[in-house]
Structure 1
């Protein structure tokens, strides 16, 4: 069962000058990831609140949402068999599915990071490769916060318009990735071996998922533009939203 909607009771908007962005995380998740996201959002002009299954926050008070990285998603949510050696967090899965339900009803801008990109796909009925190295045999086995993996970005995508580049290097902290696309989504970035690295929904004001971790690429202004564009969309700057989805 999903977390009752009482956890997301409607209240007044979080807008008071700076947009309020929620960042989902595991109860036992890395505080480094939270502070990296918090810093990126603060630099972009937003306030941030950490949301976990044990510390929920009313989604109706948010102006935007970051679905963060972390443990694998329960494979039974997309029709696969759960693997016993994979660490999952069912409470967080339920939290994020409900948060994405609420965000969809309100047309909140949403950025999915690593696991968060995968969760956007699962929320829309898609599936995942439970281990990319079983499918993409040539994919490098990288696990690093440094930009060591080369990706290509579709030039007619919102992601391209935000980053302003067709190829770049990103970091890699994952072993799963998008398989079957969810409803209304398109692939907008892949790595050289073919693994999906970016997805987005053209019919949504701002719904983008990236398989890498831009919050750790603090000196890369192009990557930080993801947070700036999210915050601008959360602030209701329609010109920025149009530029990201046209």
Structure 2
């Protein structure tokens, strides 16, 4: 059987260097990646899964607020990704959000963002590195906990915004030591997971590769009309991360 095709949204400016890393992780997980951005065709009917990648901050206009901190915005990308996330979930298609993508998942489902997350969470240590220095705790009983294991996880961090009020049908899956939300997930099909860090840079870590494997398993279930949560759970049971 052919590999599930996963669309990956990127910035027009920096996607050339980000996409190859995400594509590598998808390939290692058994899928195949296709790059999308605001200047490329984007037809959800031609793919089985969606990754919303990292990049610039999301405009607060999308969640009914005004800009209160300096940020680099990309309105065309905002419009594209909100439409794609909504369209994917309407189709029951699985979604993985990476950093900005986790925030877009939340916003597309009616949630809000904290534009200056480290001012609001002063006990959260601020890092700006692709190295795994930030410690996050996974919430027991969540799908992320089943996918990546119970132990605290070391991740990287490049963000300034974070999830504030949760969107519809989402729950918190991980927080850092200062209480800032670091991962969110849907509680039922379609599979949807958003992580505040960049697992594509951590492809050498089995627990990070497990996130991409979960999406690919859900995408395979989607094209077969099967239950995505069950497919992800079976995959996690068969390859429990160390």
Same fold per TM (> 0.5)?
yes
1:240 paired with 2:231, answer yes
| Displacement of 1:30 | 4.0
| Aligned match for 2:65, one of 64, 80, 92 | 80
- Give the match for residue 59 of structure 1: 44
Partners of 1:65 and 1:117 lie apart in 2 by 12
- Give the match for residue 195 of structure 1: 180
| Displacement of 1:47 | 1.1
- Give the match for residue 41 of structure 1: 26
Matches within 5 A, 1:26-37: 26-37=11-22
Deviates more, 1:178-187 or 1:76-85: 76-85
Partners of 1:103 and 1:85 lie apart in 2 by 31
Structure 1 residue ranges without an equivalent (≥5): 1-15
| Displacement of 1:84 | 7.0
SS at match of 2:123: coil
Q: TM-score, normalised by structure 2?
A: 0.91
| Aligned match for 2:192, one of 207, 210, 216 | 207
- Give the match for residue 104 of structure 1: 89
8 Å contact from structure 2 (residues 89, 190) kept in 1: no
| Displacement of 1:100 | 1.1
Partners of 2:20 and 2:136 lie apart in 1 by 26
Q: TM-score, normalised by structure 1?
A: 0.89
SS at match of 1:226: helix
